[in-house]
Structures are given as structure tokens and as C-alpha cells.
């Protein structure tokens, strides 16, 4: 005797969850984004105890939990620590079309890396150790995309 | 300290687009685990579920499986993360003295949603999420960092995929048992350099359940053959933001492993442990984590892989089940790995049974690029 389950048509219900959020950016990151938006500057903060300099800035040092209250302006240049060429499309998620490059950039004057796009370069030419500089958007809104990308230093 | 045993395991066959709801999957896995232990749900007094609300598409999703997991009329609590962390919580609840026999169940239906979209939501909405990062692209950044730090080659990572898909051929529940070559991996579609499709685990559906019991109850309820002891466990996490870590530095895993080995009384893991199930959602991760686990020196994982150490017939078999590369139901994967270790230690692993194994290492991660690690030592 056959099981009724062998014959049943399994239905699939399509759905989507769309819930708006308003996330506070907090005082530390707000200062970072306001400097970026209003003055076109990239600032980091430094732990007074261990000297680690964070970009984007941190509320607390991840090593000693001291408040990194020393703020330093970075020159906007750095070195590619690692990168990937993304070759798949996720239109609702990716701000640009594939192929594009993500990198972790060690900015000069900072000890941590910043993840961002590497642009103005053939993706196949990106290398670990490549020197790069931040390129800012002309119209800035106070978020991470105010940095358009990092491009190779001439 | 009182000892805790795994006295039963149960799981669904790995699937894609499973016709079962996730609650039905949990019911199947839990029913099998109770049968395996030879007990009924009346002997269980609490349930730890492992799930992800984002993946389930509903909040407080442990409530959606409370009946399916046998928790009706009992206490149920949830861990969001890898199953290895759920097992840790289950053990802690027993050791607290508040609970006796415990069910730890995990479910994951990856094929019902969009993996990239969900893992993108793991990133800080104030920083990296807007860039569109996800599990795959962040893993690619880690793979490249690992390569450049130690001068490794993509072909070496490909060998992990060849080995684990090959191992899966002896695992009747595996999703992707395959005979492939390094060239096949190298020629597979590029996803996010240096990762190709065959360096990445498949989106998978699966539920797995373990039954845990303290020594006194374990000995009362089960025969010696069924009991596998949780001899040591350690867990440790690192910074949230990718850029705050050196992605090829294993400091958190090293701490987690040290704690697990100390608890289990192990001083030389390579000699004293017989085999491992290590998190390999991406091929490069297996050698990287093996270094963090102290099985080989930093930067040497690929070299030993090439020498065959980690083959099923090698000095230290790794992912004999086929690993996550052959099936990766994210939240459940850690429990499947523990269940595999249990079967091996009981001598019930069928065609893939390893000879004379007494001590197993199981490793799971939580967070992007191994932000957090859980290390288990299981033994007879």
C-alpha cells in the first residue's frame, strides 16, 4: 500500500520580510562619519593604554577596554592587506555590479584594517601590498559609502 | 566535576529543497535520537534548540519547534550559532545541577532563503553591511590573507575539497559525494577569488539531535556501547569587525583548543587524539583551523595535507564524513560533526569506520571568518 505522502503535491509559499529599522550610529561612529561627510577627512581613535589606533574608530579598545579618546586625522593612504574579486551578482545587497574588488586596507597611521572597495583599477591587477588612497564621494551622507573606494596611488 | 555523556544521536539525511518543514525535520532527528538512546521523551527534562531566526524567517523560532523537539511541558532554551555551542550549553545546563537528561537539537533549511542576504545581515549595519559583504566574500578575504601570510597556493586548498568530497562517497547521508581532481576545483566557476564553487560548501537542509546525560543517569539509562563522554570543551571569541583581526591569526582558536585539551588532560593532541571533524565550509579553513587546533605548526597545514596526514587512511584523519564541503546545514553542522564522532567512537560508522579510534576532536565556529570557536574532545 502506497503512502499518501508519496502522492501529495508539496506546496511552497513565497514570502519576504521587510521591516524598517532606525539604527543609532552612536557618538564614536557619528563623529567619524560627520568628519567624513562635512570635512572630507578620515579620523581614527587611539587607545591611551596600548596605543592601538582604530579605523573605523571604536568605542572601547578591543585589547584593554580603555576608551580610545585620542583622535587622529589619517592621511587617507594605506596598503592592501588582502582582497577578493567578487564575481557574483546580488543586486539588492551589492552597491555595485560584479566583478568588483573588496579589500582590507591598513591605513597609514592606523593599526586596524578597514574593509572597503578597491576601484579605478583592473580587478586582475590588484595585489596584496599595493599602495592605495581613499577616494571620497562628492555628495556625502554620513556613512561608509562616503568613501567611494580606495584606488592605487599614482 | 561530574561527567556528561552523549547517549543518543539522530539526524535527517542532508537535502536541498527538503519537502519537510523545519519542525518536521527536528521531529525526525529527535525521534531518531531518542530511539538511538533507547529512552522516551518522559526521561528528558529540558531542550536546547539551535537555530537562526533570520534563516527560519520567523523570530523566536525555538517556539516553533518546541513541540517537535519533545519540549512540550518542559523547559526549552535557544542558542543561535553553530551546533557545537548548543552542545556546550546543554552540557552546562546539566552540570549546573538544574537539569538531567537533555535534548540538544539543531535545524537549518538553507534552501528556503538567500544565504548571501542572510549572512550580509551578520555584519554591522553601521559599517560593513552597506558594502554588501557576506559569508563568501569575507571568507575570500581570509583565504587570500592566509595565502599571502604563508606563501600558500590555491591548488593546496583545492586538495581539501578533493579529499572531503571523496570521503563523502562513504557517507550515506552526504549531499555531494564526488570523485574530483585538483584541476576540477581549479576550473570550477570563480565566485570570489581565490574561492571557486568547489572551494565552497553547498546550501543544505538538515536537522540533528544529540541526547546528553550526566554520568549517573547515562549509566542507568544506556549500555556502555552507547555512551560517548564529553571529555573536554573550550570556546573563545575574537573581534567582531574583520579589520580588527589579522584574519590569518588563530589566537581565539588557540585559546579555545588549549582549554579543551587541558580539560580532557591532553598534552599532545596529534598523538593523543585519533581523528577530527573540523569546520570546512570553505576549503582553506581546514588547514587554517588545524593549525589553530595545534595539530600542526602555523603555516604548515597545507604541507601536511599534501603529505596525506589528513586522509581517511592518514596519520590524523580529518572530515572522514565528507565535512561541510559535502553538506553544510549551518546551525546543525556542528551537531552533525559531533554525531559523526559519536558513530566513529562507537564503531558504527559503516564503510567509513576508522580502526581503533578512542578519542575525537570536533570543531565548530560562529561568526564571520571564525570570529568564535568551540572545540570538543570526545572519547570512549
Q: Please give the share of chain B, as a percent, with pLDDT higher than 70.
A: 100
The residue among A78, A123, A133, A79 whose CA lies nearest residue B193 is A123
Cβ–Cβ of B241/A112 closer than 8 Å? yes
Cβ–Cβ of A116/B131 closer than 8 Å? yes
Beta pairing partners, B277: B362
Cβ–Cβ of A84/B195 closer than 8 Å? yes
How many whole angstroms separate alpha carbon B195 and alpha carbon A154?
29
Q: Does A114 lie at the interface with B, CB-CB under 8 angstroms? A: yes
Enter the C-alpha cell of residue B5: 555523556
A102-140 residue pLDDT tens: 999 999 999 999 999 999 999 999 999 999 999 999 999
pLDDT at A23 (0 to 100): 97
pLDDT at A6 (0 to 100): 86
pLDDT at B318 (0 to 100): 98
pLDDT at B62 (0 to 100): 84
3-class DSSP state for residue A115? strand
**Among the partner residues B19, B133, B143, nearest to A115 by beta-carbon distance:** B133
Our CA-based measurement puts residue B94 at a distance from the nearest CA of chain A, in whole angstroms, of 33
Cβ–Cβ of A21/B125 closer than 8 Å? yes
Q: Does B196 lie at the interface with A, CB-CB under 8 angstroms? A: no
**Among the partner residues B120, B137, B239, nearest to A86 by beta-carbon distance:** B137
Residue of B nearest to A111 (CA): B244
Asked whether the predicted pLDDT for residue A27 surpasses 90, the reply is yes
Q: Please give the share of chain A, as a percent, with pLDDT higher than 90.
A: 92
Q: What is the ipTM of this complex?
A: 0.96
How many whole angstroms separate alpha carbon B32 and alpha carbon B37?
9
Q: How far is CA A20 from CA A17, A23, B52, B61, in A?
A: 10, 10, 20, 20
Q: Does B121 lie at the interface with A, CB-CB under 8 angstroms? A: no
User: Residue A1 — very low, low, confident or very high, per pLDDT cuts 50/70/90?
Assistant: low
B148-193 residue pLDDT tens: 999 999 999 999 999 999 999 999 999 999 999 999 999 999 999 9
> What number is the average pLDDT over the span A60-74?
93
Cβ–Cβ of B141/A56 closer than 8 Å? no
Asked whether the predicted pLDDT for residue B69 surpasses 80, the reply is yes
- Output the average pLDDT for chain A: 96
Residues on chain B touching A92 (C-beta within 8 angstroms): 117
How many whole angstroms separate alpha carbon B268 and alpha carbon B151?
27
The residue among B115, B168, B131 whose CA lies nearest residue B320 is B168
Our CA-based measurement puts residue A72 at a distance from the nearest CA of chain B, in whole angstroms, of 17
B215-273 residue pLDDT tens: 999 999 999 889 999 999 999 999 999 999 999 999 999 999 999 999 999 999 999 99
Asked whether the predicted pLDDT for residue B1 surpasses 80, the reply is no
CB B24 within 8 A of CB B40: no
Strand pairing category for B4-11 and B228-237: antiparallel
Number of other CB atoms surrounding residue B224 within 10 Å: 8
- Higher pLDDT: B61 or B319? It is B319
> What number is the average pLDDT over the span A140-151?
98
The DSSP letter of residue B42 is G
B21-42 residue pLDDT tens: 999 999 999 999 999 999 999 9
Query: What are the residues whose beta carbons fall under 8 Å from the beta carbon of B178, sequence distance 6 or more?
Result: B165, B166, B168, B169, B326
Strand pairing category for B195-196 and B190-192: antiparallel
Amino acid at each position: 500500500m502506497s503512502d499518501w505522502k508519496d502522492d501529495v503535491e508539496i506546496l511552497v509559499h513565497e514570502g519576504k520580510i521587510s521591516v524598517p529599522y532606525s539604527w543609532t550610529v552612536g557618538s564614536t561612529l557619528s563623529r567619524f562619519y560627520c568628519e567624513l561627510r562635512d570635512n572630507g577627512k578620515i579620523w581614527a581613535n587611539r587607545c591611551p593604554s596600548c596605543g592601538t589606533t582604530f579605523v573605523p574608530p571604536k568605542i572601547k579598545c578591543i585589547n584593554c577596554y580603555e576608551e580610545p579618546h585620542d583622535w587622529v586625522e589619517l592621511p587617507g593612504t594605506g596598503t592592501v592587506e588582502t582582497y577578493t574579486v567578487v564575481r557574483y551578482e546580488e543586486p539588492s545587497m551589492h552597491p555595485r555590479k560584479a566583478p568588483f574588488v573588496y579589500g582590507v586596507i591598513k591605513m597609514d597611521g592606523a593599526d586596524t584594517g578597514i574593509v572597503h572597495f578597491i576601484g579605478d583599477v583592473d580587478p586582475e591587477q590588484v595585489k596584496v601590498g599595493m599602495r592605495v588612497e581613499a577616494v571620497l564621494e562628492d555628495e556625502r551622507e554620513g556613512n561608509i559609502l562616503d568613501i567611494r573606494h580606495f584606488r592605487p596611488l599614482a | 566535576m561530574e561527567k556528561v555523556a552523549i547517549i543518543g544521536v539522530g539526524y535527517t539525511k542532508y537535502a536541498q529543497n527538503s519537502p519537510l518543514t523545519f519542525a518536521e525535520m527536528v521531529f525526525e532527528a529527535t525521534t531518531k535520537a531518542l530511539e538511538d538512546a533507547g529512552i522516551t521523551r518522559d526521561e528528558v527534562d529540558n531542550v536546547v534548540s539551535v537555530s537562526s531566526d533570520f534563516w527560519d524567517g520567523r523570530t523566536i523560532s525555538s517556539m516553533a519547534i518546541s513541540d517537535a523537539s519533545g519540549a512540550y511541558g518542559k523547559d526549552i532554551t535557544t542558542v543561535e550559532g553553530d551546533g557545537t555551542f548548543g552542545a556546550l550549553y546543554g552540557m552546562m545546563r546539566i552540570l549546573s545541577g538544574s537539569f538531567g537528561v537533555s535534548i540538544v537539537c539543531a535545524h537549518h533549511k538553507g534552501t528556503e532563503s538567500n544565504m548571501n542576504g542572510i549572512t550580509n545581515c551578520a555584519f554591522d549595519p553601521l559599517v560593513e553591511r552597506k558594502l554588501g559583504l557576506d559569508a563568501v566574500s569575507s571568507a575570500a578575504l581570509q583565504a587570500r590573507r592566509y595565502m599571502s601570510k604563508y606563501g600558500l597556493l590555491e591548488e593546496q586548498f583545492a586538495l581539501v575539497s578533493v579529499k572531503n568530497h571523496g570521503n563523502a562517497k562513504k557517507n550515506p547521508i552526504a549531499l555531494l559525494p564526488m570523485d574530483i581532481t585538483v584541476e576540477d576545483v581549479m576550473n570550477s566557476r570563480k565566485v570570489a577569488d581565490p574561492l571557486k564553487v568547489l572551494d565552497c560548501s553547498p546550501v543544505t537542509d538538515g536537522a540533528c539531535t544529540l541526547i546528553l546525560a550526566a554520568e549517573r543517569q547515562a549509566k542507568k539509562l544506556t549500555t556502555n556501547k552507547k555512551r560517548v563522554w564529553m571529555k573536554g570543551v573550550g570556546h573563545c571569541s575574537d573581534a567582531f569587525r574583520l579589520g580588527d583581526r589579522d584574519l590569518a591569526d588563530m589566537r581565539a582558536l588557540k585559546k579555545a583548543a588549549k582549554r579543551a585539551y587541558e580539560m580532557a588532560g591532553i598534552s599532545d593532541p596529534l598523538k593523543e587524539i585519533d581523528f577530527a571533524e573540523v569546520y570546512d565550509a570553505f576549503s582553506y579553513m581546514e588547514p587554517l583551523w588545524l593549525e589553530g587546533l595545534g595539530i600542526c605548526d602555523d603555516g604548515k597545514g597545507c604541507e601536511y595535507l599534501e603529505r596525506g596526514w589528513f586522509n581517511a587512511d592518514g596519520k590524523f584523519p580529518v572530515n572522514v564524513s565528507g565535512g561541510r564541503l559535502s553538506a553544510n546545514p549551518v546551525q546543525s553542522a556542528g551537531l552533525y560533526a559531533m554525531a559523526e564522532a559519536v558513530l566513529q567512537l562507537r564503531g558504527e560508522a559503516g564503510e567509513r569506520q576508522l580502526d581503533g579510534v578512542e578519542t575525537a576532536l570536533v570543531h565548530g565556529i560562529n561568526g564571520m571568518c571564525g570570529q568564535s570557536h568551540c572545540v570538543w574532545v570526545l572519547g570512549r
